[in-house]
């Protein structure tokens, strides 16, 4: 009995101590929870880059300009006789543009060029991504949802007659489809418009165009039409200005990035479902994303867009350079170049196919990976969208369960016996398993039509892409994950690279050859996070060449046949006097595509010559960089990246 009573007292003591410990821990949690701070990219940037009063010293090997391209300057003014358009035109051209941000921008430039070619009055085109959306803001029309109408008309008054709408006596005829409508291809020649469209325009006085492929005029025009090429540049780089709210917020985002006193790099993954399906890159993804790409590829085959087989070897496509660089690979390339882990990287692109899961390795390598949601508040983004009619918050509805009588009736109408046994009871489907743009694939083989919420999101993506475009053009460096994919459609990265080339050709714009990069990764596939020094030097050599004339010319030969705005040379640039002779590059038809730029006017020569000489001196001093000399001559250089970039032990997956 005495032994049992002692056990009771010990148990009571242990219980009392446990209760006291629990109370103490709960009290500590209550008082300490006030100090818990949720992670945010702004706080991370503030921690990594405190405000520094002293001037920022940039590493020119990572952020410096490209000397070989310093002599190229923007000059899209008319060079020859260029009369102002006559008010008495041949008629009106109205157009509907289908597609995303890059297709809209490229199509508008082609429309203006065609209107000048046909001496027609252009009606402000309709952007269908905003028209199809349900109950978007009443403040904006289709064109003004993205661009400034007044600026567009005023900037092109010496080029094309532009009106906001058709005259009143023609509107009724348009509503009843009395005017001829054409659907030109993106590679249509000028002769097509002169022989096919112009007679109809003169006869009916109004012609409609439906543009779905991101353009309606071939990229490379004859040398005699160089003024039309310069008109394209004036439209894309001067007349197409975003509406004031977008420009204001975009400038604020750039200022917030620069407020930390450090340069930043913009990266656009280019992971778009249509382009991935076009090239058959499904096997680079997993689970439902592979099925979604294959489903879209099957659609393209039925529509005649793709003439290849449904199932292709995605890894072979990747080796050919037809598939994108994955975010993990881009992170490794940037680290091999020497960018430290605290580098500020802006993630452009309104949608990345594959979601945030694909970005985890890149975020592990670069903690300061930010996007528009990191730099803007929800209020700022909602103000940009404008007042909208709210959609139902809970749009998901479970299918109505079948009654027992319905099940029996369905079983009795199932056909002659023998019949298979009825399927087992289905597991309950929860809302979180069906919500989202890919939930349909779990129940049906047919993709549903876009819901009102989907259509509204597509319209919003135009605004997010506009913000990303502003920041990517202004960034200190730009890295494309997927451009010039060979589909013939304009792409976001290509347009950004073209505008950076036009505004400042010497800006740090990487133009990697995906085929070469794939071969480099195959070499070090088993040791990706700790590659050998020779591999790192090979990456640096390739990426540095991609910045210079060599990479520009290679990209020019590939991209210009598909998109003039990606490489607006030599028509839209001039070259200041330079001691260096530039080798001319000819296309397949013998036409000079690079090196035949006109000499800049005298007023531009005097303004730029001093800057070029100063940059040459600074670059010469930078060649003596101690780190670079150690990389070239250091006999004890280790076989990892630890000497060129700050090493993180968490990189090693086997460590």
74-241 domain in CATH 3.40.50? yes
According to the model, what pLDDT value does residue 505 have?
92
b/e per residue 257-296 (b: at least 16 CB within 10 A): beebebbbbbbbbbbbbbbbbbbbbbbbbeeebeebbbbb
pLDDT above 60 for 602: yes
* Separation in Å, CA 500 to CA 152, 352, 437, 473, 510: 21, 23, 34, 6, 11
Q: What are the strands of the beta sheet with 264-268, ordered from one edge?
A: 369-370, 344-347, 264-268, 477-480, 508-509
Residue 342 near residue 48, CB atoms below 8 Å: yes
DSSP per-residue letters across 261-291: SS-EEEEE----HHHHHHHT-GGGS-THHHH
pLDDT tens figures, 64-120: 999 889 889 999 999 888 888 888 899 999 999 998 999 999 999 999 999 999 999
Report the SS3 class of residue 163. strand
Report the first-to-last Cα separation within the chain, whole angstroms. Answer: 57
According to the model, what pLDDT value does residue 524 have?
87
pLDDT tens figures, 294-343: 888 988 898 888 888 888 988 899 999 999 999 999 999 999 999 999 99
Measure the CA angle with vertex 85, ends 81 and 91; round to 5°.
140
According to the model, what pLDDT value does residue 176 have?
78
pLDDT above 90 for 28: no
pLDDT above 80 for 132: no
pLDDT above 90 for 540: yes
Q: Smallest Cα–Cα separation from 598: which of 580, 574, 582?
A: 574
Run of H or E residues at 543:
helix 533-547
Joined tokens for residue 639: 């076989």
Mean pLDDT for the chain? 81
Residue 310 near residue 294, CB atoms below 8 Å: yes
Helices and strands of the chain, counted as H and E runs:
27, 16
Q: Smallest Cα–Cα separation from 48: which of 405, 366, 502?
A: 366
Mean pLDDT, residues 414-427: 66
Q: 600 pLDDT band (50/70/90 cuts)?
A: confident
Q: 646 pLDDT band (50/70/90 cuts)?
A: very low
| 3-class SS letters over 82-136 | CCCCCCCCCCEEEEEECCCHHHHHHHHHHHHHHHHHCCCEEECCEEHHHHCCCCC
Q: 538 pLDDT band (50/70/90 cuts)?
A: very high
pLDDT tens figures, 611-643: 444 444 344 334 334 334 334 333 333 333 333
| Phi and psi angles of residue 109, each rounded to the nearest 5 degrees, phi first | -60, -40
Q: Cis link prior to 359 (omega < 30° from 0)?
A: no
pTM of structure: 0.82
pLDDT above 90 for 403: no
Rounded distance, CA 78 to CA 238, Å? Answer: 14
Rounded distance, CA 332 to CA 365, Å? Answer: 8
According to the model, what pLDDT value does residue 439 have?
59
Rounded distance, CA 486 to CA 475, Å? Answer: 26
Strand partners, 573: 74
Rounded distance, CA 152 to CA 144, Å? Answer: 10
According to the model, what pLDDT value does residue 599 have?
84
Q: Smallest Cα–Cα separation from 246: which of 375, 385, 98, 389?
A: 385
pLDDT above 60 for 404: yes
DSSP per-residue letters across 313-379: -HHHHHHTT-SPPPHHHHHHHHHHHT--TT-EEEE--S--TTGGGGGHHHHHH-S-EE-HHHHS-HH
More confident residue, 605 or 292: 292
Q: Is 15 exposed, middle or buried (0-12, 13-18, 19+ CB in 10 A)?
A: exposed
pLDDT tens figures, 232-272: 999 999 999 999 999 999 999 999 999 988 999 999 999 98
| Phi and psi angles of residue 73, each rounded to the nearest 5 degrees, phi first | -130, 150
According to the model, what pLDDT value does residue 126 have?
92
Report the SS3 class of residue 6. helix
According to the model, what pLDDT value does residue 581 have?
59
Joined tokens for residue 54: 């002293």
Measure the CA angle with vertex 345, ends 340 and 349; round to 5°.
150
Strand partners, 122: 93, 162
pLDDT above 50 for 52: no
Strand partners, 123: 163
Residue 170 near residue 197, CB atoms below 8 Å: no
According to the model, what pLDDT value does residue 39 have?
47
According to the model, what pLDDT value does residue 2 have?
54
Q: Smallest Cα–Cα separation from 480: which of 643, 257, 269?
A: 269
For the chain, the domains span: 74-241, 246-271+324-384+454-568
pLDDT tens figures, 372-381: 999 999 999 9
Joined tokens for residue 318: 């990747």
According to the model, what pLDDT value does residue 397 have?
59
Rounded distance, CA 417 to CA 415, Å? Answer: 7
Task: Give the torsion through C-alpha atoms of 519, 521, 523, 524, to 10 deg.
Answer: 170
Which segment of 6-10, 303-307, 563-567 scores lowest on mean pLDDT? 6-10
Residue 158 near residue 84, CB atoms below 8 Å: yes
Q: Smallest Cα–Cα separation from 41: which of 285, 472, 311, 371?
A: 371
Q: Smallest Cα–Cα separation from 436: which of 517, 508, 510, 355?
A: 355
Measure the CA angle with vertex 586, ends 584 and 592; round to 5°.
70
Mean pLDDT, residues 380-401: 76
Which segment of 86-90, 180-184, 606-610 scores lowest on mean pLDDT? 606-610
More confident residue, 23 or 319: 319
Q: Would you report the helix, strand and coil content of the chain in percent, each value rounded to 5?
A: 50, 10, 40
Joined tokens for residue 154: 């005023």
pLDDT above 70 for 41: no
Q: Smallest Cα–Cα separation from 487: which of 238, 308, 265, 244?
A: 308
Q: Smallest Cα–Cα separation from 512: which of 557, 473, 543?
A: 543
Separation of CA 280 from chain center: 20
pLDDT above 70 for 151: yes
According to the model, what pLDDT value does residue 628 have?
40
Rounded distance, CA 393 to CA 91, Å? Answer: 47
Report the SS3 class of residue 147. strand
| 3-class SS letters over 169-231 | HHHHHHHCCCCCEECCCCCCCHHHHHHHHHHHHHHHCEEEEEECCCCCCCCCCCHHHHHHHHH
């Amino acid at each position: 009995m005495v032994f049992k009573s002692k056990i009771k007292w010990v148990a009571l003591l242990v219980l009392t101590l446990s209760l006291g410990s629990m109370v103490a821990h709960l009290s500590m949690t209550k008082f300490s929870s006030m100090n818990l701070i949720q992670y945010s990219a702004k706080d991370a940037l503030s921690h990594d880059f405190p405000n520094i009063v002293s001037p920022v010293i940039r590493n020119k090997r990572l952020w410096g300009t490209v000397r070989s391209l310093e002599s190229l300057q923007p000059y899209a003014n008319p060079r020859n006789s260029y009369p102002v358009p006559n008010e008495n035109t041949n008629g009106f051209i109205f157009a509907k543009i289908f597609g995303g941000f890059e297709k809209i921008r490229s199509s508008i430039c082609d429309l203006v060029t065609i209107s000048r070619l046909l001496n027609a009055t252009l009606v402000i085109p309709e952007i269908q991504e905003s028209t199809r959306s349900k109950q978007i803001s009443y403040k904006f029309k289709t064109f003004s949802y993205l661009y400034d109408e007044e600026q567009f008309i005023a900037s092109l008054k010496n080029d094309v007659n532009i009106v906001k709408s058709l005259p009143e006596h023609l509107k009724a005829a348009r509503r009843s489809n009395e005017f001829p409508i054409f659907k030109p291809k993106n590679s249509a020649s000028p002769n097509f418009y002169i022989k096919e469209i112009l007679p109809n325009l003169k006869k009916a006085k109004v012609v409609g165009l439906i543009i779905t492929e991101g353009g309606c005029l071939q990229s490379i025009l004859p040398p005699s039409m160089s003024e039309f090429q310069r008109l394209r540049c004036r439209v894309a780089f001067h007349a197409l200005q975003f509406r004031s709210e977008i420009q204001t917020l975009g400038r604020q985002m750039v200022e917030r990035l620069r407020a930390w006193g450090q340069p930043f790099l913009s990266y656009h993954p280019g992971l778009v479902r249509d382009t991935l399906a076009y090239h058959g890159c499904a096997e680079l993804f997993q689970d439902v994303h592979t099925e979604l790409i294959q489903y879209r590829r099957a659609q393209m085959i039925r529509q005649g867009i793709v003439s290849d087989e449904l199932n292709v070897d995605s890894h072979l496509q990747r080796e050919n350079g037809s598939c994108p660089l994955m975010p993990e690979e881009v992170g490794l390339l940037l680290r091999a170049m020497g960018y430290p882990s605290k580098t500020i990287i802006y993630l452009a692109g309104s949608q990345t196919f594959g979601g945030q899961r694909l970005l985890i390795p890149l975020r592990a390598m670069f903690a300061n990976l930010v996007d528009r949601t990191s730099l803007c508040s929800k209020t700022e983004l909602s103000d940009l969208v404008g007042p909208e009619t709210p959609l139902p918050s809970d749009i998901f509805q479970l299918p109505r369960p079948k009654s027992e009588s319905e099940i029996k009736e369905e079983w009795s109408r199932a056909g002659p016996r023998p019949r298979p046994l009825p399927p087992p009871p289905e597991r309950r489907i929860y809302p979180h398993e069906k919500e989202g743009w890919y939930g349909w694939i779990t129940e049906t083989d047919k993709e549903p039509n876009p819901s009102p919420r989907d259509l509204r999101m597509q319209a919003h993506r135009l605004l997010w892409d506009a913000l990303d475009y502003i920041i990517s053009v202004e960034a200190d460096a730009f890295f494309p994950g997927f451009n010039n994919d060979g589909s013939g459609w304009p792409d976001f990265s290509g347009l950004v690279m073209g505008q950076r080339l036009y505004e400042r050709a010497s800006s740090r714009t990487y133009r990697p050859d995906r085929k070469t990069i794939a071969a480099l990764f195959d070499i070090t596939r088993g040791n990706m996070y700790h590659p050998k020094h020779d591999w790192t030097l090979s990456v640096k050599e390739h990426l540095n060449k991609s910045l210079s004339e060599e990479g520009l010319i290679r990209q020019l030969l590939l991209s210009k046949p598909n998109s003039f705005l990606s490489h607006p040379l030599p028509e839209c640039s001039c070259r200041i006097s330079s001691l260096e002779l530039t080798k001319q590059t000819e296309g397949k038809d013998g036409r000079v595509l690079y090196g035949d730029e006109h000499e800049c006017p005298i007023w531009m020569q005097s303004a730029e010559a001093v800057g070029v000489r100063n940059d040459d001196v600074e670059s010469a001093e930078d060649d003596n960089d101690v780190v670079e000399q150690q990389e070239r001559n250091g006999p004890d250089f280790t076989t990892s990246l630890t000497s060129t970039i700050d090493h993180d032990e968490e990189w090693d997956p086997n460590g």
